[in-house]
């Protein structure tokens, strides 16, 4: 049942609930900022941030340390999001119809984005990553994210976020639903999309957290984003859902150093092993990155040690069924060639012996990978 956004308090600015009916977008932005939610403008009538300046749009330009952000410009979308009222006033007065995005991570929000796209469901193994659905379960009526999330909640004996009346829920113009929650603790929840078979909560369910933004209700883009149900505030992220997010790879690895670059074909093998947000893919990316980084250290035996460790890890992942042996070997060769060009004979021997040793010790990287 859809309710209109109602006026539930007179003050449309500083506190309490959402601003009154049809507030200006600047007022929406101020309201968010007053709650400690950094905001950034969306292109008029669209769900995407306003365009970067030309310099920021150039290939190879990084938002890290970008002068535009430091100068208070809106380049780089959520990375430029602000709590500064003067900046908000300036941004939202430059042109009409700028929508409002909230940078979920710095706002400490986790938004569950449920889609209702009419698509053919994928294989049943990909509906709820990590949860095999027995052949005996009839999935005939399953068609969208409301259903997959409903199945997950039912399996856990919980209310689906789609039906969670205790928290802010926002109907999207395409019939989807955004369910807003407050994160608690120090977890840095990560974004995901439901079509990623490995790092996803459920098919047709995206997660918006660190690295993403949410569209504030009241914004209009191909239709209005409208609050449904009684709640006007995000509730605390339910424990069961936090547990599911952790299980499905929405937390950054605890002790893994900053990821090192991995050559492109080796990258494919990482993706085949589940990508960076799955434990197997992350473990493989970590050891491959260490091999690649030996490029900077042309002498010493660190290269042999790291390549041996990478090959051993890869062998374990192959034995554990996370990766094919051919893909593992090719990725190791590419990383090694990157670090020690033209030394195929030397590194080939290390790779073979490391792989063979690892194949005897199947690896199943778990929560503390």
> Segment contacting Zn ion (CB under 5 A): 63-71, 107-115, 121-129, 225-233?
63-71
Binding flag, residue 80, Zn ion (CB under 5 A): no
Q: Which is nearer to Zn ion, 75 or 262 (CB)?
A: 75
Question: What minimum distance in Å lies between the beta carbon of 88 and Zn ion?
Answer: 18
Question: What minimum distance in Å lies between the beta carbon of 52 and Zn ion?
Answer: 5
Q: Which is nearer to Zn ion, 65 or 300 (CB)?
A: 65
Question: What minimum distance in Å lies between the beta carbon of 65 and Zn ion?
Answer: 9
Question: What minimum distance in Å lies between the beta carbon of 90 and Zn ion?
Answer: 15
Interacting residue with Zn ion among 20, 43, 68, 159 (CB under 5 A):
68
> Segment contacting Zn ion (CB under 5 A): 69-77, 80-88, 211-219, 232-240?
69-77
Interacting residue with Zn ion among 5, 17, 28, 75 (CB under 5 A):
75
Report how many residues bind Zn ion under the rule CB under 5 A: 5
Q: Which is nearer to Zn ion, 56 or 112 (CB)?
A: 56
Interacting residue with Zn ion among 53, 133, 256, 357 (CB under 5 A):
53
Interacting residue with Zn ion among 18, 27, 66, 214 (CB under 5 A):
66
Binding flag, residue 116, Zn ion (CB under 5 A): no
**Cα separations (Å) of 310 from 210, 266, 300, 349?**
30, 12, 17, 13
- Residue 122 corresponds to which tokens in the numbers above? 């994928």
Question: What minimum distance in Å lies between the beta carbon of 72 and Zn ion?
Answer: 11
Q: Which is nearer to Zn ion, 28 or 75 (CB)?
A: 75
Per CB under 5 A, which of residues 196..235 are in contact with Zn ion? none
Question: What minimum distance in Å lies between the beta carbon of 206 and Zn ion?
Answer: 25
Q: Which is nearer to Zn ion, 39 or 177 (CB)?
A: 39
Three-class SS of the chain? CCCCCCCCCCCCCCCCCCCCCCCCHHHHHHHHHHCCCCEEEECCCCCCECCCCHHHHCCCCCCCCCHHHHCCCCCCHHHHCECCHHHHHHHHHHCCCCEEEEEHHHHCEEEEEECCCCCCCCCHHHCCCCCCCCCCCCCCCCCCHHHHHHHHHHHHCCCCHHHCCCCCEEECCCCCEEEEEECCCCCCCECECCCCCCCCCECCEEEECECCEEECECEECCCECEEECCCCCCEECCHHHHHHHHHCCCCCCCCCCCCCCCCHHHHHHHHHCCCCCCHHHHHHHHHHHHHHHHHHCCCCCHHHHHHHHHHHHHHHHHHCCCCCHHHHHHHHHHHHHHHCCCCHHHHHHHHHHHHHHHHCCCCCCCCCC
Question: What minimum distance in Å lies between the beta carbon of 58 and Zn ion?
Answer: 9
Residues 6+ apart with CB under 8 A from 300: none
Q: Which is nearer to Zn ion, 51 or 305 (CB)?
A: 51
- Residue 44 corresponds to which tokens in the numbers above? 């008029």
Chain position carrying tokens 């380049």: 75
Binding flag, residue 56, Zn ion (CB under 5 A): yes
Q: Which is nearer to Zn ion, 58 or 345 (CB)?
A: 58
> Segment contacting Zn ion (CB under 5 A): 74-82, 89-97, 133-141, 219-227?
74-82
Per CB under 5 A, which of residues 17..46 are in contact with Zn ion? none
Q: Which residues bind Zn ion (CB under 5 A)?
A: 53, 56, 66, 68, 75
């Amino acid at each position: 049942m859809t309710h209109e956004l109602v006026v539930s308090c007179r003050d449309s600015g500083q506190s309490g609930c959402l601003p009154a009916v049809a507030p200006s977008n600047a007022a929406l932005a101020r309201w968010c900022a007053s709650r400690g939610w950094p905001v950034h403008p969306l292109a008029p009538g669209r769900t995407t941030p306003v365009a970067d300046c030309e310099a920021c749009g150039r290939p190879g330009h990084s938002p890290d340390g970008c002068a535009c952000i430091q100068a208070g410009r809106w380049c780089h979308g959520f990375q430029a999001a602000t709590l500064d009222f003067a900046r908000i006033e300036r941004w939202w007065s430059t042109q009409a119809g700028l929508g409002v995005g909230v940078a979920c991570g710095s706002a400490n929000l986790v938004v569950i984005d449920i889609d209702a796209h009419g698509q053919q469901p994928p294989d049943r193994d990909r509906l709820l990553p990590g949860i095999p659905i027995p052949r005996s379960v009839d999935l005939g009526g399953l068609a969208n994210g409301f259903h997959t999330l409903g199945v997950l909640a039912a399996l856990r004996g919980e209310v689906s976020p789609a039906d969670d009346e205790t928290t802010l829920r926002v109907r999207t113009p395409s019939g989807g639903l955004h369910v807003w929650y407050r994160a608690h603790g120090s977890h840095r929840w990560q974004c995901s999309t439901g079509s990623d078979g490995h790092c996803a909560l459920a098919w047709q369910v995206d997660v918006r957290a660190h690295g993403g933004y949410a569209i504030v209700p009241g914004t209009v883009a191909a239709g209005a984003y409208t609050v449904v149900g009684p709640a006007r505030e995000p509730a605390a992220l339910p424990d069961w859902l936090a547990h599911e997010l952790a299980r499905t790879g929405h937390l950054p690895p605890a002790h893994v150093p900053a990821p090192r670059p991995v050559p492109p074909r080796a990258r494919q093998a990482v993706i085949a092993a589940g990508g960076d947000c799955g434990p197997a893919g992350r473990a493989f990316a970590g050891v491959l990155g260490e091999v690649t980084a030996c490029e900077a250290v042309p002498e010493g035996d660190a290269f042999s040690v790291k390549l041996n460790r990478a090959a051993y890890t890869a062998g374990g992942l192959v034995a554990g069924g996370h990766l094919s042996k051919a893909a593992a070997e090719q990725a190791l060769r590419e990383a090694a060639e990157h670090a020690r060009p033209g030394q195929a004979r030397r590194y080939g021997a290390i790779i073979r012996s490391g792989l063979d040793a690892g194949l005897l010790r199947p690896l199943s990287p778990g929560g503390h990978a």
